[in-house]
Each structure stands twice: as C-alpha cells, then as structure tokens.
Amino acid sequence: MDAALALFLEHGFDETTVDQVVAAAGISRRSFFRYFGTKEDIVFGDLAELGPVILEALRERPDDEPIWDALEQAFGVLATQVNPERGAMIGRLVATSPALRAAHLEKHLRWQEVLAPEVERRVSTGDAPRGLVGEAIVATALACLDAASTAWLREGGEGGLDELRRLTRLALAAVRKG
C-alpha cells in the first residue's frame, strides 16, 4: 500500500500501472489481486468500510440530539480511524484523478445507504416519500465533509484532524443557517 501510494503521488494515480505497483512492492500480480480488486481499492479499501463505524457512532448519540449535531459527532469517529497524513495524501490524489473522484463518490453512496435509514428514523419526514429526507440529509452532510476536506487540503492539512473537524463543524453550521 505504501509503495503504491508513493508511486501515485510521484507519477499520478491514472498514470501508474498495476505492474509498476507490484514491481515496487516486490509482489506478484496474483498477490496484488488477492488483496485488492482494483487500483482504487489501494486508496479507499478500508475507508469504504467506515460507513458502519460512522453508523454505530450515530446510534450512540441521543435520539433527541439535533441531527446535524449528531452527524457531526458521528463523523468525528473518522479522526480515530484515519491517519492524518494518509488522509491528506488520499485527498490530494482524489483531487487529481477522475477515477479516484468516481470511487470517492461511490464510497459516499455506500455510506449514504448505511446512514440514511438511521437519520430518517430520527427526523420528521412529513409527507416526503420514504427515504428522501434521510438520503438528502446524509448527502448534504457528506458534501459538507468534502468541502471541509477541500479547504483543509488547500491549507496544506495544517492543524491535523482537529482542524478538519473544525472545518466540518463550520460547513455543517453554514448548511443549518442557510
């Protein structure tokens, strides 16, 4: 994974081949594909699986807590799961690769599928079709997380994950006020 990330940063994700990755890592193509289904999985593999971790953190929040506060706190679990340097590296790669942007959106859709029912359970949906409100809130919260990440990376990842959490809080607050 480290060898691949170094190559991606040096040469670009889209320009780096699986053959270059396996050569740098000293493994066979067969071994590579035993651990990773795609090049994108090297970058996002374990991040895509954090949806259930965020869901558990959300479920631990009080039911009467405002949903935006509950989501902000639930997203805070990411700080305990992601290495700040690796997070910044992934953010830089996503910003420069259409393939990684697509994989990033797919990861968010998986998170949305996991989180939306719990959000919907917690909020009044009025006469909206089932699923609409939960999906809209989660999609908006994830957009806030992305906006905060972009701002954090623009500043060079300064302040680590505490700063990223602060920026996420500001983005969520902007949506709440709007």
119-177 pLDDT tens trace: 999 998 899 999 999 999 999 999 999 999 899 888 888 888 888 889 999 999 999 88
Burial of 3 (0-12, 13-18, 19+ CB in 10 A): middle
CATH of the domain at 3: 1.10.10.60
Residues 28 and 112 in one domain: no
Residues 24 and 53 in one domain: no
- Structural domain for 164, as ranges: 40-177
Q: Quote the number of domains for the chain.
A: 2
Residues 50 and 119 in one domain: yes
**90-to-47, 55, 168 alpha-carbon distances in Å:** 10, 22, 17
Q: Where do we find the tokens 């992934």?
A: 90
Residues 17 and 47 in one domain: no
